[in-house]
Structure 1
Amino acid sequence: MSPSRWPLAVRAATSTAVPVVIGSAVGNVGAGLIATLGAFTARFGGDRPYLNRGIQLATVSVALASAVTMGSWSARVEWLGIAVVSVVAVAAVWLCNALAVGPPGAYVFALACAAGVGVSASGLAPWQLGLLVLGGGAVAWLIQMSGALRGRRRPERVAVSAAGTAVAEYVDAVGSAREVVARHRAATALHAAWNILITFQPTTDDTLQGLRAATHALHVLFADAMSAVAVGDGPPTGTADTARRIAELTVDPATVSARDTARVPLGRASTGTLLRRALRPGSHVRHVMVRVAIAAPLAGATAVLLGIGHAYWAIAAAVLILHQGADRSRTLRRGADRLVGTWVGLILAAGILWLHPQGWWLAVILAVLQLTIEMLVVRHYGLASVFITAAALTIATGSHRVDVVDLLLARGSDTLIGCAVGVAVFLVVSRFQEADRLVDSVAAVVDAVGATMPHLADDTGTLAARTARRDLQLAVIDLRDALDASTAGSDEPMRPAAVAAEQLAYRTVAACWESDVHLAGPPVGRDDALAFAGRLHDLAAALRTRATAPAVEGAPEFMAADVGALTAALRR
């Protein structure tokens, strides 16, 4: 277990315990347990800068309260409840995945809506339930934001440190079997750090400017290392150590490259653009939405037709399997972990329900369960599922006695149905969706390289040039995700072409940085760049329509080998 998860785990546990303590103190433990649904707020935004985190957590808290309210309102008609929970799940997948909200993601909102159906039996009006959840969210907001007292810029420092470590590990891995994976991790960490330093920053100060300078220098080191690898020289000795020391802020970033603070920093695309991109045909987010849109109502309907009284929990289990958009092996593993973990967790839950703790004891038990979940969930999800099940059942029934055997049988059955439906839908639907994912990802990278070429012949420092470079970087990160998800089958012939396209993309990114930072001069003439860009766009169009790939001639010298490898792989 990583020590860095302790602060998040303690905050999540405290956020769960406080509403129960307050509810017990006023003589209404049931209301306190309902309010703990708002404690899910504390599980978001752990890596965000504090000002941005405050906005995100407030939004999450309102969304959770709204989901519970909608679930409670729809509970009067069983099929309406299934429809509402399913719609909330699909919408949450769209918003959370498109905007990279981060873990625990869309599942929590589907779970909150499903819980709203369950807690409707409390006799409270839907708006009253929503207010209780909003109160729990307010408690979680205060606790999660309390970390600012330790250091307002601590999340930014952590992000820069992670980026520096990733760049150093890439440099150390050059020439080894770990090189490609390490390069992807470095690119992802640098992109994440830049988002934290630019996109998620409503204000700026000298400390932030220093961290931006450090991250800029790390980008330059990363690009220089890739350029050195491309020509066969390899990174200079001491590059990895320099990356680590810059990330630790013990070396002036200007010794590598001075950042132009007058230049308007470029963050990620706008929220509207990201949401529209997620809905485009071929988008992976759209694929995940389709899977959830099929699995959620199917799981609920199956539970109803089999006479199980908690159809909404089957929906939640199906959404859990699918919402992250993982590949086949991870989806199957997640399904197995959830199923086995739930059944084992029912034994622990039976003991807690038999004891029927109240007051402080109930708060302590829930806090311990939540703490354990947060410490285990990243590395040992199957084991964490044991405690997730126990916590969920304790929250749902902690205020009153229940028939333990009947409850556990129902919970085990709806989890089995939800997991089975989720896995089945993935296996059937993804067979058609994933067949073209790698081809489309290669086409997107080739298109992005083509969009970048005219800027390489002109000025790579303009806003348009940096936007093209950013989009190319994102396209190659998506390509690596598609490569990791591909398995033997229809994708297999495309893997060599995908690897070649990835290499071409990183070579182009490195050339942009070299021209921008080192003022090396345009590596290609304007007319040649425009002609070559047109050929790349034609190649991308041919890939998307599954037509014969046209010849790509006239590649600049610095990328000729990579273009040759790509076209040769496509011919094979």
Structure 2
Amino acid sequence: MLVSKRNVEIGISFLLGGNYMWKTEKTPSIFKQALIVNKKPFPWLKAFLAGVAAGLPICIGLLFGNLEYGLIAGLGGFTYLYVFPIPYAQLARKLTFCVLGITACVFLGTIVAPYPIFTAILMGIIGSIAMFIFGAFQLIGPSAIFFVLVFAMTTGMPTAPNEAFLRAGLTFLGGVLSWIIAMSGWLFNPHGPEKDVVRRTYLDLANLVDSIGTEKFNDAKNKVMSSLKEADQTLTVGNNPWHTKDIYKRLIVLNIYANKIFLYVVDEFDECQKSLSSEFGEAVRIIAALIESGSIINDSLNNNLPHPNEMDEKSTLLFMEITAAKDSLNESSLTLKEQMHILNPSAKQTLLGAFDKNSIILINALRFGLFIVLAAILAYEYELNRSFWVPLSCVAVMSGANAVATFHRAIQRSFGTVVGILIASVILAFHPSGFVIPFLVFLLTFITELFIVKNYGLAALFFTPNALLMAESGSQGKFAFTYFASARLIDVAIGIIIGLIGVWVVGKKSASSRLPHLVSKTIRSQAQVLFALFSGQEQKIDLKNSTEINKMQTNIKNLKTVYDTASGEIPVNKKAIEYYWAIVYSIEQLGFLLEKYSNIKDRPILSEKGISQLLFIFETMAIAANRQTSVTKKEIPEINELPSIQYVVEDLQKNFQKLTYSQS
């Protein structure tokens, strides 16, 4: 089962989450890439609510006759910038962490402001911790940027350690307000994100069923795998251990059926040359439509699935699985609960996995903190005006996912800051006061959030004047703008240069050099999972809390992160990327299948000879990965009941039969 050229492109796209495609045409220059405006739709509602979260605390402060207190409370409004369409259960936990983190940053910033060296060190620690947590738990959002920004802006306030609790309290109230605004959608559609991801999974599954026997099958298969992974992650983080609603139980069971249907299609129809009748795909689409129903139980009872006219044994069993998925929509809550099983690694396991010595997450976090400290020390040592803008610019640049993204950020930050200062000059020239200030903060935040999805540089056009306005509004009209603007440009330029140096010196080929060891380590962990699943030892292993599966998941996550980072190194190690991409893709496919089969009770048991042969093959590949050598072909024992695993192992072994590469 050789990998076709088309599958090469699909594989890399799947491996990197659709963000990277292997292309033969000439890649645009870094400068042109940085200026590309993507076609994502404007997030109008999120942008409006972000503006409200930023401007409302300032309005409240003005109503109580204290603009300064309102501006401090407005720092808590940055919490809303971490809102993304994720399950409300996870969003509540994430925003709580953000509120407490931003509050702590204000408190610590007020305390250490008189001591520049401690300020610089603490700024680096805050940046490292935030970067590590966001990376380890794969949280989407601006990561450490606003934690460092709030801490830095607090150190730039009038020195008053005795006001630490007051400032922290005001910030906390502003953060709580953002939390309430963000969670208000829960009242109207408490499981909206979960319903959406399961619905999209069934639509992709319908396309897969329609593609059986056609050239589109592999494309559709990989898309379903990506959807199932997203659905698993979304439903896992959306779990509320204190109260599980009926709709959430149904979504969990529906997702289980989606996995069963997918595995059955892959096992039984992968080599099929004949298409199925359209009623199969139509039946799956009806289930997708029912998920959005306001009365899901009644509608599922009143909607019958179209019945195919002709079916053989395999297609009959497929239709029975589809029917069972639809019938689960009207099962009792108790029956649903018996079918539920959620495999969720503990926070401790996740953190320990990210603390691995070869984890790029830990390395990036340490590098991030080190250069923030250096930037802050340099700024404070030379007593630059508004010195906190230097480390802040360094943070913004180094927040790129890899070296290429970092250079994009540097270009975008430079362009956005220069033009943003011109916009700020117009605003500040009118000496805004009173309720004009919160209105401008609302407007600039609103526009920033609209354009951040399009291009970071466009967002910086409006974020820069917004930050200047909030930082200077307490100066009672004494802006001294000409001097301030020139100093701001110098600070930003210094911060950008330090950030680029950090990526260039510390990150150079650090990811690609770790690929051999991580590939080897991941293959060995998959061999352990395979032994646990198919050796007949499952009665001795709790697969729901399996150390083997958790270890494999952690290793695959680390490997994927390292490979993604290596693909963006400057200069990129093309030989390493070309050599390993197919290997990493096959590893992730195998990990996906092993995880899914761990939820099946009646798994086939392989003979001792078969298991021994498989373990020998896996160990041979692991050694080859570490030494960067090729392997000779070995006979893979047949797994008749689960041919998809056999095919992927065959692909993985074939990928190791290529010539070696040199890292030089």
- TM class, shorter-length: 0.7 to 0.9
Q: Deviation of residue 103 (structure 1)?
A: 0.5
- The 5 Å alignment of 1:322-401 reads 322-323=398-399, 326-400=401-475, 401=477
Structure 1 contact 504–562 (Cα < 8 Å) conserved: no
Indicate the residue corresponding to 1:536 in structure 2: 618
| Structure 1 residues 459 and 113: alpha-carbon distance in aligned structure 2, compared to 1, 3 A threshold | same
Q: Deviation of residue 567 (structure 1)?
A: 2.2
Indicate the residue corresponding to 2:352 in structure 1: 276
Indicate the residue corresponding to 2:290 in structure 1: 249
* Residue range with higher mean Cα deviation, 330-339 or 304-313: 304-313
- The 5 Å alignment of 1:27-42 reads 27-42=65-80
| Structure 1 residues 229 and 322: alpha-carbon distance in aligned structure 2, compared to 1, 3 A threshold | farther
**Structure 1, unaligned stretches of length 5 or more?**
none
Q: In 2, Cα distance between the equivalents of 1:170 and 1:317?
A: 46
Indicate the residue corresponding to 2:257 in structure 1: 217
- The 5 Å alignment of 1:171-186 reads 175=216, 182=223, 185-186=226-227
From 543, 561, 571, give the equivalent of 2:650. 561
Residue 127 of structure 1 pairs with residue 148 of structure 2: no
Indicate the residue corresponding to 2:484 in structure 1: 407
Residue 87 of structure 1 pairs with residue 154 of structure 2: no
Q: In 1, Cα distance between the equivalents of 2:358 and 2:598?
A: 33
Task: Give the 3-state SS of the residue equivalent to 1:366 in structure 2.
Answer: helix
Residue 144 of structure 1 pairs with residue 182 of structure 2: yes
Q: In 1, Cα distance between the equivalents of 2:537 and 2:281?
A: 29
- The 5 Å alignment of 1:430-469 reads 430-454=507-531, 455-458=533-536, 463-464=542-543, 467=546, 468=548
| Structure 1 residues 185 and 255: alpha-carbon distance in aligned structure 2, compared to 1, 3 A threshold | closer
**Structure 2, unaligned stretches of length 5 or more?**
1-38, 292-299, 306-319, 329-335, 639-645
Structure 2 contact 208–217 (Cα < 8 Å) conserved: no
Q: In 2, Cα distance between the equivalents of 1:82 and 1:169?
A: 54
Q: Deviation of residue 499 (structure 1)?
A: 0.9
Deviations along 1:285-341, one digit per CA (max 9) or x if unpaired, are 1121122122111222333455422332211221222235x1222221112111211
Q: In 2, Cα distance between the equivalents of 1:463 and 1:128?
A: 50
Q: How many residues align?
A: 568
Indicate the residue corresponding to 2:195 in structure 1: 157
* Residue range with higher mean Cα deviation, 302-311 or 332-341: 302-311
Amino acid in the other structure paired with 1:496? Y
Task: Give the 3-state SS of the residue equivalent to 1:139 in structure 2.
Answer: helix
Amino acid in the other structure paired with 1:406? Y
Deviations along 1:36-92, one digit per CA (max 9) or x if unpaired, are 110111223433433443343233212111011111211102222111111111111
Deviations along 1:420-443, one digit per CA (max 9) or x if unpaired, are 211221122111421324324422
Amino acid in the other structure paired with 1:186? S
Deviations along 1:132-185, one digit per CA (max 9) or x if unpaired, are 111111211221121122222223223324544566678879759977984674
From 97, 108, 133, give the equivalent of 2:146. 108
- The 5 Å alignment of 1:7-18 reads 7-18=45-56
* Residue range with higher mean Cα deviation, 137-146 or 441-450: 441-450
* TM-score w.r.t. length of structure 1: 0.87
Q: In 2, Cα distance between the equivalents of 1:28 and 1:515?
A: 60
Amino acid in the other structure paired with 1:334? R
Query: Identical aligned pairs, as a percentage?
Result: 20
| Structure 1 residues 236 and 474: alpha-carbon distance in aligned structure 2, compared to 1, 3 A threshold | farther
Structure 1 contact 555–563 (Cα < 8 Å) conserved: no
Q: In 1, Cα distance between the equivalents of 2:368 and 2:324?
A: 46
Max Rg structure = 2
Deviations along 1:165-215, one digit per CA (max 9) or x if unpaired, are 5666788797599779846743542343232344x5542121111111222
Task: Give the 3-state SS of the residue equivalent to 2:483 in structure 1.
Answer: helix
* Residue range with higher mean Cα deviation, 1-10 or 404-413: 1-10
* TM-score w.r.t. length of structure 2: 0.76
Alignment RMSD (CA, Å): 3.5
Q: In 2, Cα distance between the equivalents of 1:234 and 1:511?
A: 28
From 491, 500, 513, give the equivalent of 2:583. 500
Structure 1 contact 435–490 (Cα < 8 Å) conserved: yes
- The 5 Å alignment of 1:41-120 reads 41-120=79-158
* Residue range with higher mean Cα deviation, 453-462 or 312-321: 453-462
Q: In 1, Cα distance between the equivalents of 2:608 and 2:93?
A: 45
Indicate the residue corresponding to 2:315 in structure 1: none
* Residue range with higher mean Cα deviation, 216-225 or 457-466: 457-466
Indicate the residue corresponding to 2:20 in structure 1: none
Indicate the residue corresponding to 1:203 in structure 2: 243
Task: Give the 3-state SS of the residue equivalent to 1:341 in structure 2.
Answer: helix
Deviations along 1:76-111, one digit per CA (max 9) or x if unpaired, are 022221111111111111222212332022222122
Structure 2 contact 354–362 (Cα < 8 Å) conserved: yes
Structure 1 contact 226–507 (Cα < 8 Å) conserved: no
| Structure 1 residues 485 and 96: alpha-carbon distance in aligned structure 2, compared to 1, 3 A threshold | closer
- The 5 Å alignment of 1:274-313 reads 274-313=350-389
* Residue range with higher mean Cα deviation, 165-174 or 55-64: 165-174
Residue 486 of structure 1 pairs with residue 486 of structure 2: no
